Amino acid sequence: MIAEAIAEMIAEMIAEMIAEPSSWLAIFAALLVSWSLTPWLRRHLLNQGIADHPGPRRSHQVLTPRGGGLAMAAALLVFVLLAPLQISSAVTMALLVLTLAGLGWIDDVFGLGVRARLVGQLLIVIGLVWWFGDLTALRLGRYELDTVWLIKPLAVMAALWLINLHNFMDGSDGLAAAQVVFVGLVLGYLLLDAGNQAWGLFGFGLAGACLGFLVWNRPPARIFMGDSGSLLIGGGVAALALAGAAGTGPSIWISLMVTSVFVVDATATLVYRAVSGQRWYTPHRQHVYQRLIIRGVGHGKVLGAYMTINLGLVLPTVAAAHWRPDWELRLVSGLILLLLAGWFIVQAWVGTENNK
């Protein structure tokens, strides 16, 4: 009863914020294009031999085509064409989609070295941060960090990490797509609530594109998004966070909360590998979702566990921070500590077997 009442209230609030029929048409079109284009793309990718083979570093057992991110990219381009956006925002969104999906597609088909990937991503991120202009001061309790020469590089590093961590976390059926449905809806709502119509709508469009793809990517996955998809959704999430940091939406701390399930898993794993002397940039199976699969937890249960944490822990924390902005730092710290505790518990539960 309570959950239904909350869902109804949120639906009414969103309906009030998105009053134009063309906005709803654009969001629905993104979902429909992604859903309808993906099976055709799957057949094409299989015919071209663009697929991931099962292996010791992978979590799937059958040959599965990769590159489904192209369907999501097409869906977002349709969204940009149909949504009531200013020319500058529409052009920025279209360029973001084309460059990230294009870079990922080249990697899917031909393979790129680490250096080439990072250089390409860095150029895209620098352009994105430059477009958003002045970013708000970073609040640290009673203090504010408002030094431009420091905030801009930090924003570039954070956006670059968001792009790459979505690539790292795209290894279990439906996980990355479902995560970005959640993130897109929550950040999109918060941006709309703050009056940022353009990027709020983009959050909903991104969620729609991922939801349409999720129909085919859910366990057992019939297609993978590949780098063309993981770079795209990572960049989309980074753009939503930057839109908030530019002063027209949720603070950087709330954006961190919304994305925390992926951020904590990817960051803790990277730090652990670096500290323990492992080559952090090489393929491995040490993220929590990978450890759970090693332990015998199926892809569907892994997906359910991550989404349960998002809805049962992350979302209430975000709501509390939105209600009481003065609690942000304490809430985000507590949330990260809880997620880190979960990370350590799973690592200890699985043990050191198949640790690399």
Nearest to 162 by CA among 277, 242, 84, 278: 242
Residue 148, pLDDT above cutoff 70: no
Digit-coded pLDDT (tens) for 331-346: 999 999 999 999 999 9
Q: How far apart are the first and last CA of the chain?
A: 46
| Band of residue 60 on the pLDDT scale cut at 50, 70, 90 | low
Residue 103, pLDDT above cutoff 90: yes
| Band of residue 5 on the pLDDT scale cut at 50, 70, 90 | low
Please state which of the ranges 89-93, 254-258, 322-326 shows the lowest mean pLDDT: 322-326
Digit-coded pLDDT (tens) for 283-327: 778 899 999 998 889 999 999 999 999 999 999 999 999 888 889
Domain for residue 287, yes or no? yes
- pLDDT: which is higher, 354 or 206: 206
State how beta strands 138-140 and 64-65 pair. Answer: unpaired
Q: How far apart are CA 6 and CA 323, in angstroms?
A: 15
Domain for residue 8, yes or no? no
Q: How many domains does the chain have?
A: 1
Nearest to 242 by CA among 193, 201, 187: 187
Residue 353, pLDDT above cutoff 60: no
Residue 50, pLDDT above cutoff 70: yes
A 10 A CB-CB count for 51 gives 17
Domain for residue 327, yes or no? yes
Please state which of the ranges 25-39, 57-71, 172-186 shows the lowest mean pLDDT: 57-71
Q: Which residue has the tokens 């509390």?
A: 320
Residue numbers of the domain that contains 288: 21-350
Contact 250, 193 (CB under 8 A): no
Residue 168, pLDDT above cutoff 60: yes
> Per the structure block, which two tokens stand in for 206?
């991104």
Per-residue model confidence (pLDDT) at position 198: 94
The three-state secondary structure class of 65 is strand
Q: How far apart are CA 303 and CA 212, in angstroms?
A: 17
Domain for residue 15, yes or no? no
Domain for residue 317, yes or no? yes
The three-state secondary structure class of 210 is helix
**Per-residue buried b or exposed e for 5-26, using 16+ beta carbons within 10 Å of the residue's own CB:** eeeeeeeeebeebbeeeebbeb
Q: How far apart are CA 166 and CA 262, in angstroms?
A: 7
Residue 12, pLDDT above cutoff 90: no
Domain for residue 75, yes or no? yes
Q: How far apart are CA 354 and CA 56, in angstroms?
A: 10
The per-residue pLDDT of the chain, averaged, comes to: 88
Q: How far apart are CA 350 and CA 341, in angstroms?
A: 14
A 10 A CB-CB count for 349 gives 10
Digit-coded pLDDT (tens) for 124-136: 999 999 998 777 6
Per-residue model confidence (pLDDT) at position 352: 55
Per-residue model confidence (pLDDT) at position 22: 86
| Band of residue 153 on the pLDDT scale cut at 50, 70, 90 | confident
Domain for residue 2, yes or no? no
Give Cβ neighbours of residue 130 (< 8 Å, ≥ 6 apart).
none
Long-range Cβ contact pairs of 260-263 (< 8 A, separation 24 or more): 260/314, 260/332, 260/335, 260/336, 260/339, 261/179, 261/306, 261/309, 261/310, 261/314, 261/339, 262/165, 262/166, 262/169, 262/179, 263/162, 263/165
| Band of residue 219 on the pLDDT scale cut at 50, 70, 90 | very high
Q: How far apart are CA 232 and CA 79, in angstroms?
A: 15
How large is the average pLDDT for residues 45-68?
Answer: 76
- Torsion angle defined by CA atoms of residues 313, 318, 324 and 325, in that order, rounded to the nearest 10 degrees: 130
| Band of residue 259 on the pLDDT scale cut at 50, 70, 90 | very high
Phi, psi dihedrals of residue 16, rounded to the nearest 5°? -70, -40
Residue 225, pLDDT above cutoff 90: yes
Residue 156, pLDDT above cutoff 80: yes
Domain for residue 280, yes or no? yes
User: Cα–Cα–Cα angle for 272, 346, 219, nearest 5°?
Assistant: 105
Nearest to 214 by CA among 331, 73, 68: 68
Burial class (CB in 10 A: 0-12, 13-18, 19+), 286: buried
Contact 38, 213 (CB under 8 A): yes
Per-residue model confidence (pLDDT) at position 280: 67
Q: How far apart are CA 193 and CA 325, in angstroms?
A: 15
Phi, psi dihedrals of residue 228, rounded to the nearest 5°? -60, -30
Residue 329, pLDDT above cutoff 80: yes
> Per the structure block, which two tokens stand in for 274?
């670096």
Beta bridge partners of 144: 139
| Band of residue 274 on the pLDDT scale cut at 50, 70, 90 | confident
